[in-house]
């Protein structure tokens, strides 16, 4: 029996920490880390991935789901190197992983799929397989049409994967149709054009999924959990399936009597916009798909798990009490702080490190072909940073700069027992994040900074605002170490000179140092190609500019932004009628106006129609204090972190702050 922790927590979370029966097994609480790929593997499970998953169980999550898009079939590659469930070489570590999760009192299940037309044959060297020769809107590769004789081996592969997992001590399998995988492709009347027994009417299109579920049920014992993940809200018409259709499908599958848990979220990979809704970012509402799970729960006999922007324990408890679901997926919240469940049990809510909903480190990196990290939790990328060890002896640490890097360095150093003083020349902590958090597309972006402020107060860090640091002032207290986290400052292009157009940075706009006048014509020049250029263009449009043009020398606007964030920004740019002008290089000035040159043709254009030019991506490191300190005291231990070394990403600033705090 699962331990009932509900008696140990306040009434606010009594449901969240009550045990629950899934099939014939009991889970100790309702918190689930849902399946996602990590990019740590290449088909074969490794120790890094095992440790990552065990860490979630150690933090108290009741159910650990693993291996997003894990392939059951040798001829269908998993995405992002996810685990090949068909490969027996994975069995030793699968067994070890299950044992270690169970040691922490958790249950463990693996997602299992055949991706069908999703993907690229370059991964496997074999053609994609699908019900019909209709390509996906994103990957655009025409698949091979599965023949009748091709289908049975795939069904058998699902059953074999389930049997392997049970043999390795796992608690269950999660069959998935979600996000446009093969099962969903069979359901869709716009994708499945077959005229045989696996196509045509509703019965025919359901047949493949029903046979998969029946085969899996026959291959495992009654104690083994069979879960099913599907979209409750496709967020697109491209499937020819709406929310009513998805409910009909779920009821049909439920009637088979084999499914122990339905996992409901939303979105689909048929279009870029629908794909961005699969892992909804900060432009989506909290509890994005609670409406879909609530409806499903009313009609299904099996319990329902919901996923999609459940960010904190109170929101999770509310979803359960409101009958939206029986279990709650809190995947990104647990990535940000794997100890979220235990801290909630302990009543230590303010100590939970919050997800800032940026998606840059997790799904954003994965969709850019890199292993995941977490922007606010650098231990995901470097597990040596997970546990803060007490210092051998207390030292006097002076930190200059109250941005994310400096705040993290101060937090970790103080946690270890050092005497920490933090100097910030401004009137508030946060550095350039104080401007970034005002971007309307990112309402949760500042949660980490607010958490750091609380942590510094809890740890009694001596924070001195409105304090300008000089070499003399830093040396006189005789610190053991000075950490420079002075960051960088935004700049404009050096060749703007004395142009007649007002030239400012995006930070100046966001910090209200400069205002956009009603009816002004605005040009945004973005050499960074990520989030900021599009965001400030939208800000300008919403501020009343009569015309906004977003110019970049890159192939496209937001060129280096991941595919999960880009669709929403593009949507907003379109709604705001922002003119998009890629491949335009700033080439100085002419006759008092900015000059643009086409990157490829060399054709030049004088920008004489803009009243205001906003520059994005020009950052200069503020590192002068380092040389001043070393000249004043060559023996002083002076270290630099974050943008002080070189302007980079928020994740770099946070990671370097944690790392130096851990090493002092």
Q: Among all residues, which ones are annotated catalytic?
A: 181
DSSP strands (E only) in 116-237: 129-130, 144-145, 172-176, 225-233
Instruction: Report how far apart, in Å, the C-alpha atoms of 522 and of each of 504, 518, 542, 607, 611 are.
Output: 11, 11, 12, 11, 6
Q: How far apart are the C-alpha atoms of 180 and 229, rounded to whole Å? A: 11
Spacing of C-alpha 126 from chain mean position: 30
Residue linked to tokens 């942590």? 455
Q: How many other β-carbons are positioned within 10 Å of the β-carbon of residue 227?
A: 27
Question: What is the SS3 assignment for 95-133?
Answer: HHHHHHHHHCCCEEEEEEECCCCCCCHHHHCCCCEECCC
Q: How far is CA 609 from CA 493, 524, 580, 606, 612, in A?
A: 19, 13, 16, 9, 9
Query: With contact defined as beta carbons under 8 Å apart, do 42 and 89 qualify?
Result: no
Distance CA 119, CA 123 (A): 8
User: Could you tell me where the DSSP H helices lie in 377-531?
Assistant: 404-415, 433-436, 447-458, 471-475, 506-510
Which of 524, 601, 621, 609 has its CA nearest to residue 569? Answer: 524
Q: Which has the closest alpha carbon to 496: 393, 595, 641?
A: 595
Cβ-in-10-Å burial (0-12, 13-18, 19+) of 156 comes to: middle
Cα–Cα dist 226/260, whole Å: 5
User: What distance lies between CA 293 and its chain's CA centroid?
Assistant: 21
| Cα torsion 44, 47, 52, 56: sign | positive
- Can you read off the two tokens belonging to residue 516? 């956009």
**Is the separation of the CB atoms in 98 and 53 below 8 Å?**
no
Q: State the distance between the two ends of the chain, measured CA to CA, in whole angstroms.
A: 45
Helix axes 404-415, 650-663, angle to 10 degrees: 30
Find all residues with CB under 8 Å of 201, minimum gap 6, and list them.
none
Closest CA to 509 of 469, 557, 548: 548
Q: DSSP assignment, residue 198?
A: T
Rounded CA separation 107/385 (Å): 26
Structure tokens at 65: 């789901």
Beta strands in 573-636 (DSSP E): 579-581, 584-590, 593-598, 604-607, 612-616, 619-621
């Amino acid at each position: 029996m699962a331990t009932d922790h509900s008696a140990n927590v306040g009434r606010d979370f009594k449901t969240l920490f009550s045990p629950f029966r899934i099939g014939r097994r009991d889970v100790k609480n309702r918190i689930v880390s849902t399946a996602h790929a990590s990019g740590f593997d290449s088909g074969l499970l490794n120790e890094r991935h095992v440790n990552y998953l065990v860490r979630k169980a150690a933090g108290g999550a009741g159910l650990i789901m693993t291996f997003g898009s894990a392939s059951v079939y040798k001829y269908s590659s998993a995405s992002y190197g996810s685990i090949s469930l068909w490969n027996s070489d994975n069995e030793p570590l699968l067994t070890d992983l299950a044992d270690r999760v169970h040691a922490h009192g958790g249950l463990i299940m693996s997602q299992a799929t055949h991706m069908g037309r999703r993907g690229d044959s370059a991964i496997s060297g074999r053609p994609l397989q699908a019900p019909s020769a209709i390509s996906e809107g994103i990957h655009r590769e025409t698949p091979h049409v599965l023949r009748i004789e091709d289908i049975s081996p795939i069904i058998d592969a699902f059953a074999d994967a389930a049997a392997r997992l049970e043999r390795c001590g796992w608690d269950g399998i999660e069959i998935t149709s979600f996000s446009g995988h093969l099962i969903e492709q069979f359901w869709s009347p716009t994708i499945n054009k077959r005229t045989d027994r696996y196509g045509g009417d509703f019965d025919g299109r359901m047949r493949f999924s029903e046979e998969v579920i029946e085969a899996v049920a026959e291959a495992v014992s009654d104690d083994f959990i069979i879960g099913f993940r599907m979209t409750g809200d496709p967020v697109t018409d491209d499937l020819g399936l709406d929310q009513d259709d998805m409910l009909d499908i779920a009821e049909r599958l439920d009637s088979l009597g084999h499914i122990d848990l339905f996992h409901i979220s939303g979105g689909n990979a048929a279009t870029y916009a629908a794909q961005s809704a699969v892992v909804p970012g900060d432009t989506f509402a909290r509890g994005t798909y609670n409406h879909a799970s609530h409806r499903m729960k009313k009609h299904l006999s099996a319990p329902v798990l919901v996923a999609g922007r459940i960010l904190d324990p109170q929101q999770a408890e509310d979803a359960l009490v409101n009958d939206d679901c029986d279990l709650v997926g809190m995947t990104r919240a647990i990535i940000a702080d794997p100890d979220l469940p235990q801290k909630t049990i302990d009543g230590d809510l303010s100590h939970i490190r919050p997800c800032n909903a940026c998606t840059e480190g997790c799904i954003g990196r994965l969709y850019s072909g890199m292993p995941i990290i977490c922007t606010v939790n650098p231990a995901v990328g470097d597990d040596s940073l997970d546990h803060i060890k007490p210092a051998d002896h207390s030292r006097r640490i002076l930190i200059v700069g109250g941005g994310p890097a400096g705040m993290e360095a101060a937090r970790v150093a103080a946690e270890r027992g050092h005497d920490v003083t933090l100097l910030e020349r401004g009137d508030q902590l946060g550095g350039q994040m104080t401007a970034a958090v005002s971007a309307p597309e990112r309402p949760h972006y500042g949660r980490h900074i607010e958490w750091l402020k609380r942590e510094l107060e809890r740890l009694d860090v001596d924070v001195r605002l409105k304090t300008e640091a000089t070499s003399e002032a830093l040396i006189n207290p005789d610190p053991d170490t000075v950490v420079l986290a002075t960051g960088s400052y935004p700049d404009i292009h050096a060749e703007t000179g004395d142009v007649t157009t007002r030239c400012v940075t995006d930070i100046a706009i966001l910090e209200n140092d400069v205002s956009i006048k009603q009816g002004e014509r605005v040009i945004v020049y973005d050499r960074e190609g990520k989030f900021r250029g599009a965001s400030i263009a939208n800000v300008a449009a919403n501020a009343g500019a009569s015309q906004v043009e977003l110019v970049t020398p890159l192939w496209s606007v937001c060129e280096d932004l991941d595919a999960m964030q880009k669709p929403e920004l593009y949507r907003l740019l379109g709604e705001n009628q922002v003119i998009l002008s890629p491949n335009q290089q700033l080439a100085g000035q002419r006759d008092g106006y900015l000059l643009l040159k086409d990157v490829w043709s060399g054709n030049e254009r004088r920008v004489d129609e803009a009243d205001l030019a906003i520059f994005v991506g020009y950052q200069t490191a503020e590192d002068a204090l380092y040389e001043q300190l070393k000249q004043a005291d060559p023996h002083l231990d002076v270290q630099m972190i974050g943008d002080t070394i070189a302007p980079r990403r928020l994740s770099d600033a946070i990671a370097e702050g944690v790392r130096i705090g851990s090493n002092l």
